[in-house]
Structures are given as C-alpha cells and as structure tokens.
Amino acid sequence: MPQNEGKWDRIIRVIIGLVLLYIGYAMLSAPWNYVAYVVGAILLITGIIGYCALYSVLKINTKGGS
C-alpha cells in the first residue's frame, strides 16, 4: 500500500479530521455528531498513514513522483 498523498494533503486532512472530531464531540447532536466522528476519523487516519483508497480508485496521486 504505497502512499498517494502529498505533504500538504496530509496536513490538511489531519487538521480537518481533528476539527470534525471536536465539532462532533462539542457542538453537534445525534445523528450529525456520528457523521462528524466517522468523516473526521477517516480523514485523520488517511492523513496519518498517507494512503487514500478513493485516490487509488480515481488514480489520483498528490505525493508526486511515480
């Protein structure tokens, strides 16, 4: 599973993921808080590992190189 996310892509994903997790915890009520948790967790995880399955399907690579 090669990385397919560039540096800025990963940074933005981690920041938005953390913001969504916070918003889901502090500001939203059900069912929107669960949506914020799931989307935030996905963005946070993909930002940390540097791999996005949707990018692979769409053949997008923001990392550069090969």
Cβ–Cβ < 8 Å for 1, 50:
no
Q: Residue 1 — very low, low, confident or very high, per pLDDT cuts 50/70/90?
A: confident
pLDDT reported for residue 46 = 98
pLDDT reported for residue 64 = 86
pLDDT tens per residue, range 3-50: 999 999 999 999 999 999 999 999 999 999 999 999 999 999 999 999
Token pair listed for 41:
């967790």
Vertex 35: Cα angle to 8 and 22 (nearest 5): 60
pLDDT reported for residue 66 = 55
